[in-house]
Amino acid sequence: MGLLFSHRFLALLKKEFAQIRRDRRLAMSLIVPPTLQLLLFSLVLNATVSDLKLGIIDDSHTPESRSLTSTLTESKSFKLAGYYFDVNQLGDAISRGDLDAGVVIPKGYAKDLRRGRPVTVQFLLNAMNANTAAIAQGYAEGVVASYNADLPDEGIHADFRQIAANDVSRKGQAQLTSAYLYNPGLVGSWFVVTGIFGLLLILNGSMVAAVAMVKEREVGTIEQLLMSPAGTYEIIVAKMAPLFFVLFLMVLFATALIKIAFDIPFHGDILVLFAGAALCVLSGIGLGTVIATFTHSAYQAQLTSFFVFPLLTTVSGAITPAEAIPRWLQPLVVINPIHHFSVIARSSMIKGSGFEAIWPNFMVLFVFTLIMVSASVWRFRKQLS
């Protein structure tokens, strides 16, 4: 450690900081695009399922059937898109995309209810999008359940109560009450924003680091650096320090933006978040440095990152839940820094987890950074010989 703060190292550090300071474009490119990306991504990527377009076939034409359709459409989940007269018409509308779901209320609906016979209402869901279908099913069943519960105790429902009461051997029913913790309003953007945050740190960090490292080689000044008495470690660490500094400014900026634009709660200690962000930035820089040692020009570094980044993004759980990734890809999730930062950001900000709850994620980020930096030093040395 004493070696790191030698005179030699400080000189290198000064040089790197001066270079960054003069490179206005780099500084700008570290602040402006990430901000825009954070805003745009988080606005655009939204999994909320609401206002599903519902088509109705009402063969019953009775007050009872109308009360069911109004219960269905007065919720925010479904929106009445039109009445249809036969199933083929309804099917065509679903296939054209005019409707997301359809309900068929049978002819004898009211009669059966009045007689105390259970009646089945058919829901047709466009299941092409599996997620929308699963959530729509949950909505529909919830609405029907609450409709059943709200059926007036006199009249229709009374028949059912009576039939049921006659059965002595009847057992009780489990009643499940769900409560949503931490995000009772179910705001979709909180999940995406925290994921995109990690994505930006890693992607921007590694891109900038790769370009900065490669630049020295492109211009040909790398020989001069290598000729200097500084060791490989010193050269690389000195290169990283100013990048880290600038990127951390981006972290502060992005955090403020998240707070202002998306109104995410900050339940946890902000220092935990910043510590995670710092490690995340470092692992991004480390990744970029490794990419740089494999390439000879900014163009090649870009081409390489073009293929590494989508892969990293997909198996990170930043945009889609990590639990949904199949088991054979889970090893990639475990070593993915984006995943660990997303977990840290979500736990700390939304759930208020302390360091003691999420230290394993910190450990992985730390080990990842260490491996990346060592690998880049090793590759760097190898290129010398």
Partner 1 sequence: MRRILAQTRKEITQILRDKMALGLVLFLPLMQLILMGSAISLDIENLPIAVQDLDDTAASRQFIDAFRASDTFYVVSYPIDRQPESAFTSNLARAALIIPKHFGRDIARGVPAPVQMLIDASDSNTAKLIAGYAGEITRAWNASNGNGEVAPVEAAMRFWYNPGRSSKKFYGPGIFVLALSIFPPLLATLATAKEGEQKTILQVYVSSISAHEYLLGKILTFMLVAFCDCLILMTLLFTYFGLNFAGDPTPFIVSMVLYAFCVAAFGTLIGCAIPNQAAAMQAVAMGGFLLVFMLSGLIFPIQNIPIQIRWLSNFIWGRYFIDIVRDAFLQGGGWPATWWKVIIIGVIGVCFYMLAWRNMRRMQVKA
- Residues within window 141-180 making contact with partner 1, judged by CB under 8 A: 141-142, 144-145, 147-148, 151, 156-157, 160-161, 163-164, 170-180
CA distance 261 to 256: 8
Closest CB to partner 1 among residues 121, 275: 121
Please count the residues of the chain: 385
Q: To the nearest whole angstrom, how small is the minimum distance from the Cβ of residue 105 to partner 1? A: 9
Q: To the nearest whole angstrom, how small is the minimum distance from the Cβ of residue 4 to partner 1? A: 34
CA distance 331 to 155: 59
Q: Does 191 bind partner 1 (CB under 8 A)?
A: yes
Q: Does 134 bind partner 1 (CB under 8 A)?
A: yes
Residue 329 is given by DSSP the state: G
CA distance 70 to 185: 24
The residue range among 274-282, 302-310, 364-372, 377-385 that interacts with partner 1, by the rule CB under 8 A, is 302-310
Phi, psi of 123 (to 5 degrees): -105, 130
Q: Does 70 bind partner 1 (CB under 8 A)?
A: no
In terms of Cα–Cα distance, which of 383, 200, 166 is closest to 280? 200
Q: Does 362 bind partner 1 (CB under 8 A)?
A: no
The residue range among 6-14, 55-63, 117-125, 234-242 that interacts with partner 1, by the rule CB under 8 A, is 117-125
Closest CB to partner 1 among residues 70, 148: 148
Q: Are 285 and 209 in contact (CB under 8 A)?
A: yes
Q: Does 31 bind partner 1 (CB under 8 A)?
A: no
**Which residue in 6, 48, 70, 224 binds partner 1 (CB under 8 A)?**
48
The residue range among 16-24, 181-189, 274-282, 373-381 that interacts with partner 1, by the rule CB under 8 A, is 181-189
**Which residue in 68, 201, 246, 318 binds partner 1 (CB under 8 A)?**
68
Largest CA distance in the chain: 96
CA distance 353 to 166: 52
CA distance 140 to 152: 20
Q: To the nearest whole angstrom, how small is the minimum distance from the Cβ of residue 232 to partner 1? A: 27
Q: Does 270 bind partner 1 (CB under 8 A)?
A: no
**Which residue in 3, 28, 311, 363 binds partner 1 (CB under 8 A)?**
311
Q: Does 314 bind partner 1 (CB under 8 A)?
A: yes
The residue range among 17-25, 35-43, 269-277, 366-374 that interacts with partner 1, by the rule CB under 8 A, is 35-43
Q: Does 82 bind partner 1 (CB under 8 A)?
A: no
Structure tokens that stand for 136 in this block: 């729509």
- Partners of 102 in beta bridges: 55, 124
The residue range among 3-11, 12-20, 301-309, 374-382 that interacts with partner 1, by the rule CB under 8 A, is 301-309
In terms of Cα–Cα distance, which of 91, 76, 152, 89 is closest to 124? 91
Q: Does 30 bind partner 1 (CB under 8 A)?
A: no
Q: To the nearest whole angstrom, how small is the minimum distance from the Cβ of residue 30 to partner 1? A: 16
Closest CB to partner 1 among residues 1, 44: 44
CA distance 285 to 370: 11
Q: Which residues between 334 and 353 bind partner 1 (CB under 8 A)? A: 343, 346-347, 350-353
Q: Are 113 and 156 in contact (CB under 8 A)?
A: yes
CA distance 86 to 71: 22
CA distance 337 to 287: 10
In terms of Cα–Cα distance, which of 197, 199, 201, 184 is closest to 345? 197
